[in-house]
Structures are given as C-alpha cells and as structure tokens.
Structure 1
Amino acid sequence: MLPIGLGGVVLEGALLALSFFMIAPFLWIVSTSLRLPQDSFSLPPAIFPTAWHIGNYAEVFAKVPFFDFIFNSLKICLIIVIGHVFISSMAAFAFSRIAFAGRNVLFLVFLSGLMIPGQVTIIPQFIMMSKLGLVDTHLALILPGLINPFGIFMIRQTMMTISYTYDEAAYMDGASRVWVFWKIILPMAFPAVVVTSVISFIAHWNDFFRPLIFLNSFEKMTLPIGMTALTGAFGTGNLSAILAGVTLSLVVPLLLYIFGQKYLLDGITAGGLKL
C-alpha cells in the first residue's frame, strides 16, 4: 500500500496527464489558427506554430460577417435562457411546493421528454413553424427552446431540498404564493438556475442542426452555421482561418463558464436525485 504522500503525488500526476489529453485538442486548435495555411497539415502535429500568422483572424472578419453571427447567436441564446429559466422555475415550483392531484405522474410525463431525441420532433416542428410563417426567422429557434424538461428537473430537485417551514412561515405572515416563489424559494435555488442557464446557453450556442433546418438567409444565420462559409467550395477553405473562427467562437462560452463555475458544482450537488 502506497504512503499517503506518494499516493497523492501519483493521483495528481494521473489527473494532470488526463487533463493534458483533454486540453490537447484545444491547444492544437489555437496553435493551428496561428499557423501559415501551408503548415496546417504538418506531420507530426506541432503544439506551437513555427511562424505566427495573425492574419488568419483578419481573414475570418473579411470573409464572413462574424459580428452579425455573434449578435444573432447572442440574441437567440439570451432570449431562450431568460424564457427558459422563467418557465422552468415556475414549473419546478409547482412540482415541488404545490400538492395537486397527479403531480408525480405529470412530472414523469415531463421527464419522458428527455428520452426523445430532437431529430424525432424536427419534422412536426418544421411543419408547425411553416404554417405559422416563422421559417427563416429567429422565432423558429427561440420558441421550441423555451421549454426543456431537464431545466425543470434540475430546479425542481433543488427546490425539493428546501424545508417547507419557509413556506409555512411566509404564508402565516400573509405572503402570497407568488411572493414565496419570487422572494424565498427562487433565490435559494439560484445555483440550480445558474446550472440550467449555462447548459441551455451552451447547447443553443453550439446548435448547428436546428439553424440548418429553419434558417435560409445568410444575414440571419447563427455562428455555427454561418462559419461554414469559411470552408469554401468543396471544403477547400483555409483550415487555419476556419480554426481561427472556431477559437473566436469559444470566447463567449469560456467567459460564461468562468463567471458561473462557482455555482455549477453547488447546483449539481443540490439537485441530487430526490423524487
């Protein structure tokens, strides 16, 4: 049996090695985005570029309206996150704090939505959006994203861990149910709200499939689908410029994670699996 000190060193070494394998693809992306185009496919792959070429980033802005794509993605993601948190938190409050007939059965029905892949429902969604005249608009992406069973589940599980004495004391003081939800329960479930917000934002920020189906106009495209213009005809685009665009697209999710990471572990831990 290893001594505690040596065991700790071995464990830290193993974690560092695992971390390197996880971060290596991102290092290669950033490194290749700074290479000359002809060095993009050099073998063996090098971690650091031999010649620094910042012009790849300028090429991104020259070839595509990058800021327009960023604006479209931010607009869609922020509206979805705000609406999603508002709807999910109210549904979670009802499932966790209000006793009504069939509550558990209805909650299981909501959870069953997690087992249905988005590709299965894309045709009915497209037909519905087409009849509403919303194809090639951002609303076609926003409306289906407002309700997510996972968000309801996460926030509900956290609210279930909050003692009911808070509700009873507030009701005895004459508080309304809306006041209890807004002033007591929702602030105490804030870590779970942050977790669902981050997950929802990143999921829609990286979404390629649904914008590909619903959006036709180049100026309305989100970042993932708009960046395909950098690949050029028959995929002959500058790989270094493509990865420069990928690197720029990672900035917003990275900042979001940095500022929200302290709530992520708390929210996941508080959620638990209590049913």
Structure 2
Amino acid sequence: AAQRNLRITAEGWYYPKYKIQEAAERFMKNHPDVKVTCDKIEMMDIAAYMLRWSRGKTDVDLLISRTPAELAAFVAKDLLVDFEDIFTGEFSKDNWVSGFLDACTIKGKIYGLGTDCAVFTLIAREDWMKEAGLADSEGKAIAPKNLDELYDYTRKLTRKDGTGKTVRYGLEARWHEVTVLQTYISGIQPLRGNIFEPDGTTVDFSSKEAHEWLDFWYKGVKDGYMSNACVVDHNAPRSHMKSGITSMIWVDQARFNECGKVLGFDKLTILPV
C-alpha cells in the first residue's frame, strides 16, 4: 500500500512540553504505512489558516492550537472535521475530563481535544514582599484581602528611578489575545463569585466588579505600577519576573515552576485570590 502522510504543525514551545516528536515516532512505529511530518512555527496565525482552508488548501492535517475559543470561527465556516467518531472503547467520553470536551463542543459536536487546563494564580516574589513590609513576622507573604489592597501592594513593590521611569513593576498579567479572556474571568470570579450575567451563559462585562477589575489594570498601567508589554508578548510577565523586572504576575500556574527554576523556589510564593 502507498505510504500516507500526516502533517502536524505547532508552535515551537509545544514540542518539548508535550513530547510531540516522540509521539510521532511512536505512531510511525505502530503504523509503518504512515509518515508523520512535524513542523514548528514561531507564532500561530489563525487568520492565515482561515484564508487558506476556506480556499480548499492546507499544509497541515492536525493543528495544535492554543484555546478552544479559536475553534468557533472555523466551525462557522465548516472548515473542521469533528472528533465524534473516536469516542469508543478506551477513548469513550466517560474517560475524558468533561470540561475539556465541553470547552471544545460547538453545536453539539466536539471539534478539539483538550490537553491541559491551567489555573490562574497570583505569583509573587516573597523576598521582595518581605522588604516592602508585606510579610508576617516569619517572613511569609500576607495575601491582599481585596482589590484596593492588591493595588497598594503593587504600588509598594514598584521601583522607579530618579527620573520617574519604572525599573521594576509591581504587577503584570497576561492581557494578550491568547489568554485575555482567561485573565479577565480569573479576576471576575474572586470578585463576584460568578463570571456570568443573570442569564447564566453570557460572560459578565457590565457589573460593578467587572468595571472595577478593568479600571484596576488601566490605572496601574497609567500610574506606572504595571507593564503593558503583555499586549504584544504573551510571555512578557514570565520573562520579566525571571529577569527581576516585575514583582508579581497574575498568570497560569505553570509560570511558578518556570520562574522558580531560575530564581529559586524559596523566593516565590502563590497568593490566594
């Protein structure tokens, strides 16, 4: 039989994290008639795939994307194949984390398979919090009780030079297109205890807490206590913490391990929100 080709495309950082190359090699060993080609790209450009696929062309068969939200536009244009026929035997839906399948379900069908779920956390430099008087007698960081207190923490942890230029930010978050919704709702949940409007399905953008959350970040950037570098670089908070440019980051919990390996885990803490 003629050899078949399977093409996988993903951003470069996916490969070591999910061992894509190793998985491809195992698959080829178990399926000698299939050749798997793995391509790395610097940044996912959803619009480019949309245009190409709408013309009936593609250079990839399996696309590893970032968030389930990116699926909707493709499904609306009937450009994706659903995964409904794979959920049998050991792959039955009962054996999956239900939230992963729910997040990728559109119009009753599943168009993506979740691989991991990130919990957003407030990660802080505990040593700097101690210096700023934000720790208890044992040197353990004290969690802020509300948004006003968190803003005060941010101000106290910010450092500016003689000209007023910020040289160390108090707080950063991932307000990038990749995680802007997750960042938003991760703040609404602790403020309100619910992320939805009264209809139970629409994300809340109108409540008092929603406005307070967005105003909190707007004011922080305006006052020079928070960086807006994350708008163009979704890794900016992690990079800045690792290099000592920021004191706290509101990000997914994986960043704790990534920063801890560089700074030392004894210098970091996760504050409850």
TM-score (norm 1): 0.22
- Greater helix proportion: 1
**Higher Cα Rg: structure 1 or 2?**
1
- Greater strand proportion: 2
Relative contact order (C-alpha < 8 Å, sep 6+): which is higher? 1
TM-score (norm 2): 0.22
